[in-house]
Structure 1
Amino acid sequence: MEEQNKQSEQETSGAEPKEQGTPTRSSIIMLLAGVYLLYTGYKLCKDVLDGVNGSSWGFFAAGVGFLIVGVVMLVVGGRDLMKKDKAKRAAEAAAQEQIQKQPEPAEEKKSMSIAQRAHLADGLDNENGDDTNAQESSVSLEKKPEDEKSE
C-alpha cells in the first residue's frame, strides 16, 4: 500500500510542475477584499472621530486594524498579479526569441537526371502533338474549298 502511494506521488510530481504562488483569481479576490477592508476601516475611524452615536474607541482600534490588513492585502495581491504578468511577458518573449533563433529549413533543390528530363520533354511533345491532331481532324471535317471544286 505504501509503495503504491510513493509511486503515485512520484508520477504526479514528475508529470506536471505545479504553479508556484497564488492563482490569478485568488489575487483578484485579495485585491477586492483589501479595498473593502480599507473602506470599512476608514468608515469606522471616521464615525468615531465624528462622534457618531454608539461608536467607541474600540471601533476605532478595529478600524485601524482593518486599514492595516486591507493595505497588506492590496500590496500582496497587486504584487502577485504583477509577478504573474511579468512572468507571462518573459515567457512570451522567450518563445518569440526561440522561434526567431530556429533556422528555417532550407528547401533542397531536387535535381533531375538527364533521363528524367528527356522523359518529361517527350511527355510534353506528346501532349502538344495530341492537340495539333485534334485541330487537324476538326479542320478535315469541314469542307475545304478544294473539295467543293471537285464536286
Structure 2
Amino acid sequence: MSEQDKMTEQETEVTTSGEAPQEKKKQEVPTRSMILMILAGCYLLYTGYRLCKNVLDGVEGGSWGFFAAGAAFIVVGAVMLFVGGRNYLRREKEKHAEQEAQAQIIRKTQPAEEKKTMSIADRARLAGGLDDSEETETQADTEKEE
C-alpha cells in the first residue's frame, strides 16, 4: 500500500468516527529565517541603490535596464525588510507577553509574604534577652572552672 493510500485511510477513519479533524497549527517562521530575511532585504536595497546611482551618474556600462533592475531590487528589498522586521518584532512581543503571563501566574500561586514589623520595644526586649543569656553562659562557665 502506498503512503498516499495510508494517508487517505487515516483521514476517512477520522471523519467516519465522528471526530473533527485536528486543525493544522500555523507554522511559525524561525527567528533565524527572519533575521536572514532582514539582512537579505538590506543587501537588495543597497544593490538596487548602487545600480540606480551608477545609471544616473553615467558610469560606463550603465543602461536603463540596470536602472529598472535596481528599482526592482529596491522594491523587493524593502518588502523583505518590512516583512522580516514586522515578524521579528511580533515574535519578540509574543515572547515577552508569554513570559509576563507566566510570571503573573507564579505570583498568583505563591502566597504573599507579609512583612512582619517589630516595634522598638520588641527589639529592645529581644536585645535585652540576648544580653541576659550571655551573662548566664559566662557565669556557668566560671562556675565550671572553679
Give the structure-2-normalised TM-score: 0.60
Structure 1 runs of 4+ aligned residues shifted over 3 Å read 4-8, 17-21
Q: How many residues are aligned here?
A: 102
Distance 2:91 2:49 in 1: 30
Distance 1:58 1:46 in 2: 13
Alignment of 1:31-42 (within 5 A): 31-42=38-49
State the 1:3 CA deviation.
2.6
State the 1:103 CA deviation.
4.3
Change (3 A) 1:54 1:19: same
Q: Any idea what the Cα deviations from partners look like across 1:25-71, whole Å, max 9, x if unmatched?
A: 11111001101101100110011011111110111111111111111
Q: Residue 58 in 1 paired to residue 58 in 2? A: no
| Among 20, 26, 29, the residue aligned to 2:33 | 26
- The residue type paired with residue 3 of structure 1 is E
Q: Which position in structure 2 is the counterpart of 1:3?
A: 9
Change (3 A) 1:72 1:99: same
The answer on whether the counterparts of 1:41 and 1:63 sit within 8 Å (CA) in structure 2 is yes
Distance 1:7 1:28 in 2: 42
Q: Which position in structure 2 is the counterpart of 1:101?
A: 108
- SS of the aligned residue for 2:29 comes to coil
Distance 1:7 1:41 in 2: 54
Q: Which position in structure 2 is the counterpart of 1:111?
A: none
- SS of the aligned residue for 2:59 comes to coil
- SS of the aligned residue for 1:54 comes to coil
Runs (5+) with no aligned partner, structure 2: 1-5, 112-146
Structure having the higher Rg: 1
Alignment of 1:131-150 (within 5 A): none
The answer on whether the counterparts of 1:42 and 1:67 sit within 8 Å (CA) in structure 2 is yes
State the 1:18 CA deviation.
3.7
Q: Which position in structure 1 is the counterpart of 2:121?
A: none
Change (3 A) 1:33 1:98: same
Q: What is the identity percentage for the equivalent residue pairs of Structure 1 and Structure 2?
A: 54
